[in-house]
Amino acid sequence: MSNPLEFTGERFTPECVREIWYEHIHRYAFAGELVRDKRVLDAACGEGYGAAHLARTARSVAAVDISEASIAHAQQRYQAENLQFEIADCCNLPYEDDEFECVVSLETLEHLKDQAGLLKEFRRVLEPGGFLVISSPDKSVYTDRYHNENEFHVRELYQNELEELIALQFPVHRLLRQKLLFHSAIWSDEPGLNCSCQQADDNEISSLPSPGHDAMYFIAICAAEESALPVLDAQLWLFDDAVESVYQHYHHEIRKNMSAGILLAERERELEQLKSRLQDQPQVPGAVSWWRRLFRSS
């Protein structure tokens, strides 16, 4: 196995831990169930971990990224007979029309200016009965509410903007939602599917048809006609790891913050003791004035 690709913040790497790992891995795990036995394009594959996962169920996976370093890394790290990596611009794909049964492009849209051109190119390489799985952060939650600032995001979208953009190329779509809840959760608001969630609020427990949270991301499954959309047999998909790493990290941070608070209180007591001792010392012209300015500034 090759050395890990350096994490710059632009592309996820599987060595990242906790929240970002849950979110990215879950999206590909979800997509992997949809692409079984299909010819798949993973557009903007980055480090390659996702394409390798899709290749476990897909008939074949062509994975592209504009980064030469990412593709070189992926070719060395992930090898399978049904998996190929290639340097390419997602807005100018090196494939014939109607070549794929599914295109997967996760957390790509917000990195590009020509978002309409991207979807047009995806529609071109999809066969008429194919579908697209694409994800993007919800700007109203990811940025406006939680104040995330990603220097590599060119244009983030609100829900209505995303759906209007999709409609330019794909007449039908199904919008799912994702947010980390100590699990990574993907869910549908579509009525008629079996899902029951419970949520506590001020000691009152409510039963909900879907998680009672605003999603951080959208996952849209898109096609030219209703019959091309894959059948979903659930309304909620959950993903986590056996050791509950996010939950463990939460407790670690709480303990660390408590220890820092105790240490800060001790240092403040020591500072007060030093101030008291200084006041009891004979005054030395100049030095006392300097120490007093220091304590006032602290």
CATH number of the domain to which 151 belongs: 3.40.50.150
Alpha helices per DSSP H over the chain: 19-34, 49-54, 68-77, 115-125, 139-142, 159-167, 245-280, 287-297
Q: Both 141 and 66 in a single domain?
A: yes
Does pLDDT of 298 surpass 70?
A: no
169 and 189 inside one domain:
yes
Domain of residue 268, residue span: 249-297
Report pLDDT digits (tens) over 54-83.
999 999 999 999 999 999 999 999 999 999
Q: Is residue 50 located within the same domain as residue 123?
A: yes
Note the pLDDT of residue 213. Answer: 83
Q: Tell me the average pLDDT of the chain.
A: 85
Report pLDDT for 5: 46
Cβ atoms 224, 170 nearer than 8 A: yes
Residue 194 inside a domain? The answer is yes
The verdict on 254 and 153 lying in the same domain is: no
Q: Are 86 and 11 in contact (CB under 8 A)?
A: no
b/e 268-290 (16+ beta carbons within 10 angstroms → b)? eeeeeeeeeeeeeeeeeeeeeee
**Do 111 and 215 belong together in one domain?**
yes
Residue 8 counted as domain residue: no
Domains contained in the chain, number: 2
178: pLDDT confidence band, cut at 50, 70 and 90?
very high
Domain assignment present for residue 14? The answer is: no
Mean pLDDT for the stretch of residues 236-240? 87
Q: Is the pLDDT of residue 35 over 90?
A: yes
Give the pLDDT confidence of 254-290 residue by residue, as tens digits: 778 878 888 888 888 888 888 888 777 766 555 555 5
Instruction: Check whether residue 126 and residue 260 sit in a common domain.
Output: no
User: Does residue 186 share a domain with residue 113?
Assistant: yes
Same domain, 139 and 114: yes
For residue range 113-144, list pLDDT tens digits in order: 999 999 999 999 999 999 999 999 999 999 99
Is residue 61 one of the residues assigned to a domain?
Answer: yes
Whether 43 and 106 share a structural domain: yes
